[in-house]
Amino acid sequence: MFVDTHCHLTLLDLKPYGGDLDAALQQAREGGVSKFMGISVDLDDHIALSEIAARHADVGYSVGVHPCEDAVTMQRATVEKLVELAQAEKVWSLGETGLDYFHSTEFISEQKACFARHIHASQIIRKPVVVHTRSAKHDTVDIIRAEKSTHGILHCFTEDWETAKAVLDCGYYISFSGIVSFKNAQDLRDVAKQVPLDRVLIETDSPYLAPMPYRGKTNEPKYVPYVAKALSDVYDKTVEEIGLITSQNFENLLKQN
């Protein structure tokens, strides 16, 4: 019923499961999670993620380089390499890419160039691009527009309505994480209320940003229904309805070309 559209399966804290990722995924399934998209932060992540996806029919993954990586790592993500890696059937998206000026402004030009290459690869391969933005909303929107990117997700959304509307107008989906459930996130919930329901996705971004009532603890895919719960209050829908709607939205995104 619920799709975790953004989880870092290679970074999860598996101590509660004796180091067994399969057990963690199974517990999430028992809580209603029916699909998982494992996210890469480095090109080499595809090795482990492809092995995970091969074992689990309900797991797909992305290929790409996070904007917080160093310049040399970002330079490895050429359009040709991204397209090559993204040919695999279980690769559902490119990324996570984007811009992050919060953690570093040292490699801004490299971040922008790498972001553009991910978009170009996504356009060639006709798979969505997963976009991260932090302290860089204007440049992020500018690049999406300039590169005519129409097929993507602005993940872990925490920005204002102006930013949301800009990427929605480009054809993007908006993905909400556990942040939308935080008590001090009313402004974000007010923005979420304006996002059309057919363009909303949910995610954990695990192992980060656990939703209420687990805020401050290590996050994992089994908590994605709590994100749906926060949005059910926003949209005046049941948790189950939010789960079904966002799951269908994800299927629509993957079918888009």
Residue numbers belonging to the annotated binding site for a divalent metal cation: 6, 8, 96, 132, 155, 205
Q: Are strands 59-63 and 200-202 parallel, antiparallel or unpaired?
A: unpaired
User: In Å, how far are 14, 46, 66, 98, 211 from 231, measured between CA atoms?
Assistant: 28, 31, 27, 25, 12
Q: How far apart are CA 35 and CA 19, in angstroms?
A: 21
Nearest to 50 by CA among 17, 14, 89: 89
Burial of 244 from C-beta contacts in 10 A (0-12 / 13-18 / 19+):
middle
Burial of 31 from C-beta contacts in 10 A (0-12 / 13-18 / 19+):
middle
Helix H segments across the chain?
21-30, 45-55, 71-75, 79-86, 108-125, 137-146, 161-170, 186-192, 224-235, 239-255
Q: How far apart are CA 138 and CA 129, in angstroms?
A: 18
Residues 6+ apart with CB under 8 A from 183: 212
Please report, in range form, the residues annotated as the binding site: 6, 8, 96, 132, 155, 205
Nearest to 195 by CA among 221, 220, 162, 226: 162
